[in-house]
Chain A
Amino acid sequence: MSDSVRNTIYFAGVALLIIITGFVQSWNTALFILNFGLISAIMALGVNLQWGFAGLFNVGIMGFVALGGLATVLVSMPATPGAWQAGGAPVIGALMLGAATVVAAVILMTKMKAGKLRSFSVFGVLVVGFFVYRGLFDPAVGLIEDIDPAATGYLGGLGLPILFAWPAGGLLAAAVAWLIGKTALGLRSDYLAIATLGISEIIIAVMKNEDWLGRGVKNVVGLPRPAPYEVDLQSNTAFIERANGLGLDAVTASTLWVKLIYAGLFTVVLVILFVMAQRALHSPWGRMMRAIRDNEFAAEAMGKNVTARHLQIFVLGSAVCGIAGAMMTTLDGQLTPGTYQPLRFTFLIWVMVIVGGSGSNLGSVLGGFLIWWLWVMVEPMGSVLMNFVTYGMTDGYWLKDHLLESVAHMRLLTMGLVLLLVLRFSPRGLIPEK
């Protein structure tokens, strides 16, 4: 069986799973799985760039995804009236001052000779800079957050169409990835893992607490959409006629239609990124990356700048995750920093990449769809299983209640099991790298 036949069978299999879900459950569920599957596939592509191409172990995917989400708010929400006048300039000024302080400390650190004088001046610059920053920052933030806190209380965004947020999310994630890569790359591989784990938690903490930026845990709801609203469609006579012509009622038809529009947009992005990743993999650059991955020392001896190439691909991969994060928040229509969980947004993506086949772009896409489908369907399948297991027990028996209640936690168990089984028995994944 040739590779292409095998791959076609795999993808047809996943398509079949989603279609069966459509028939058994509902088409809304099937399209939901499809949409999130598309987003997951893009995230998996990004992680595959880092891990599959270059062997970089990033466990901070959640942070980059969340940054993409933040970008949607910053780009697409209308600016809060009066917020910029109230405290916009001091906040931006304070942030720039904070950045300048760090830069100044770094310059002092590199330019001055080691010794007491250097330690003292670096420390002094940091301390003074910190207090000036807080002095400027705190009052301005207070002013911004006081503007109608129940509805706004944040700076708002640029009011641009939300599609602009997707590349913006990528850029934002790339900028943060550059910072973190610059410090942690070039050290041991485990350190990058811990550093990315940390930065993702910090990004989430910032998004939860900096109300002036994205309303924190008060959430930003009602983001603009690239698709029409269901309610508008339901009152549109032409749409109702067409829906009736297909034998659907207007409500179902409108929800399906909106989901299909999203699916179309996501597919376009996925195809573009996939083609780019594929071209990159087979270019001289991609070969160099894999050479570095397989033997850093040999590659370095051949004159390749390993750290710089690592930084490059780390930034690229994180940018892809940022784009996917922006798309996901667009689909949700709201930014809810409280819902970002590392198990769901970091480790699940890793399962996708490993199961699909690290180093293979097609594999990552397949893994994205397959594992996402499994993630959603484990719960209904688990409850069927548990009903079967507890069939013989009397109602109200504590074990029966407990087992039925705990079905929701089967997901993590299943994912861990899938990951371990694939690593053990098929470590190259479903579609191995060539």
Chain B
Amino acid sequence: MIDFLNAFVALSNFVLIPAISYGAQLALGALGVTLIYGILRFSNFAHGDTMAFGAMCTILVTWLFQSWGISFGPLPTALLAMPFGILATMGLVLFTDRYVYKFYREQKAKPVILVIVSLGVMFILNGLVRFIIGPNDQRFSDGERFIISVREFKALTGLKEGLAFKTTQGITIVTAVIVVIALFWFLNRTRTGKSMRAYSDNEDLALLSGINPERVVMVTWLIVAALATIAGTLYGLDKSFKPFIFLQLLLPVFAAAIVGGLGSPLGAIAGGFTIAFSEVMITYAWKKVATYVVPEAWAPDTLVQLLSTDYKFAVSFVILIIVLLFRPTGLFAGKSV
């Protein structure tokens, strides 16, 4: 019995908790991608760098607060700075929409042209972020590091295996839950949210019923900016902030959005967790868990790692391919334009 408890604790420590917080970050990122896809009808390649930009603004404000001596008690100061980061990112996306995307929208350009345009925006944002904050690793988390540290957990339970629950992981999960609830409340209960869903479902019908498309587009960008900043900041807090990481995040984020079904917010969340759990579980070395569960004679002498961690991209990619082959519209039937 104790063995099973130990196995479960090891599993939670190395698989469940990291996967849940990573999944929450991916889900927030994928929600942004999927909303843009649903309303503006193109895959926004600049989304990763929008996340980087939002996180960067948050970091800059965090540093300002830290230099003023403002802190948030045991919680990271970045949480206080996040609203300012969101505002800055909102300004940025409205600016790019007004001066870049709007032109093509009015022309009714093909979606792939908009994708290429978003590549241009990606370049500029990437350059901008590196220009302002530099290409290096930035640490900006402060406050308590752990909700429960390994030592405390062992003293508390007397188990052999320890469990560490980082504050950033806790914050990620709590924030993600709040954001998702707020988003769904907005989409399902408010007038603007309903008009957004109507516009996404059937553009012509929505226009006929008097929905102002520019307003819908603007609200979408604002929400996307908030989601991107939150996702970027949480990822930066939990792991570390490095401009090029966000370019690499693009693949799992897109995979999550497509696996869930592009254009479907619920799908984006499901997709985020699917990708995160498969990535972590396939690249985790199961030896520790297995030694507790199986009889001693069968205890594995290898790491029991299905794939090395360097191949985590391959995992999201393979899931993506499988879903594309068998359910091209994703788990929660999304759009196919």
Residue contact B122 to A205, C-beta cutoff 8 Å: no
A194 at the interface (CB under 8 A from B): yes
> In the assembly, what is the distance between CA of A411 and CA of B135, in Å?
13
| 9-residue interface stretch from B86-94, B160-168, B317-325 | B317-325
Residue contact A195 to B321, C-beta cutoff 8 Å: yes
> In the assembly, what is the distance between CA of A295 and CA of B250, in Å?
30
Residues of the A chain whose Cβ atoms lie less than 8 Å from the Cβ of B294: none
Chain A nearest CB: distance from B236 CB in Å?
Answer: 19
Chain B nearest CB: distance from A293 CB in Å?
Answer: 11
Residue contact A194 to B310, C-beta cutoff 8 Å: no
- Beyond A195-B320, A413-B131, whether A202 also contacts B314 by CB under 8 A is yes
Residue contact A205 to B131, C-beta cutoff 8 Å: no
Chain A nearest CB: distance from B246 CB in Å?
Answer: 12
Q: A195-B321, A409-B127 are in contact. List 18 more A-B contacts (CB 8 A).
A: A55-B112, A183-B325, A190-B42, A190-B112, A191-B324, A191-B328, A194-B255, A194-B320, A198-B313, A198-B317, A201-B313, A341-B244, A343-B123, A405-B134, A406-B130, A416-B126, A419-B123, A424-B100
> In the assembly, what is the distance between CA of A189 and CA of B43, in Å?
10
Residue contact B127 to A202, C-beta cutoff 8 Å: no
Residues of the B chain whose Cβ atoms lie less than 8 Å from the Cβ of A414: 127
Question: Which partner residue on chain A sits nearest B244 by CB separation?
Answer: A341
Residue contact B131 to A190, C-beta cutoff 8 Å: no
- Beyond A202-B314, A209-B311, whether A412 also contacts B119 by CB under 8 A is no
Residue contact B127 to A412, C-beta cutoff 8 Å: yes
B115 at the interface (CB under 8 A from A): yes
- Beyond A183-B325, A423-B116, whether A190 also contacts B124 by CB under 8 A is no
Binding site for A on B (CB under 8 A): 42-43, 45, 100, 103, 111-113, 115-117, 119-128, 130-132, 134-135, 244, 247-248, 250-251, 254-255, 258, 262, 306, 308, 310-311, 313-314, 316-317, 320-321, 324-325, 328, 336-337
- The count of A-to-B residue pairs whose CB atoms sit within 8 angstroms is 129
- What are 9 A-B interface contacts by the 8 Å CB criterion? A55-B112, A193-B115, A202-B311, A343-B123, A347-B122, A350-B119, A411-B127, A416-B126, A427-B113
Residue contact A350 to B324, C-beta cutoff 8 Å: no
- Beyond A198-B313, A201-B248, A201-B313, whether A420 also contacts B325 by CB under 8 A is no
From residue 30 to 70 of chain A, which have CB atoms closer than 8 A to chain B?
A: 55, 57, 59
> In the assembly, what is the distance between CA of A55 and CA of B112, in Å?
9
Question: Which partner residue on chain A sits nearest B107 by CB separation?
Answer: A427
Chain B nearest CB: distance from A8 CB in Å?
Answer: 29
Residues of the B chain whose Cβ atoms lie less than 8 Å from the Cβ of A419: 116, 119-120, 123
> In the assembly, what is the distance between CA of A279 and CA of B121, in Å?
35
> In the assembly, what is the distance between CA of A415 and CA of B311, in Å?
30
From residue 220 to 239 of chain A, which have CB atoms closer than 8 A to chain B?
A: none
Partner of A409, one of B131, B255, B317: B131
Residue contact B336 to A188, C-beta cutoff 8 Å: yes
- Most chain B CB within 10 A, of A190, A205, A209, A417, is at A190
Residues of the B chain whose Cβ atoms lie less than 8 Å from the Cβ of A188: 328, 336-337
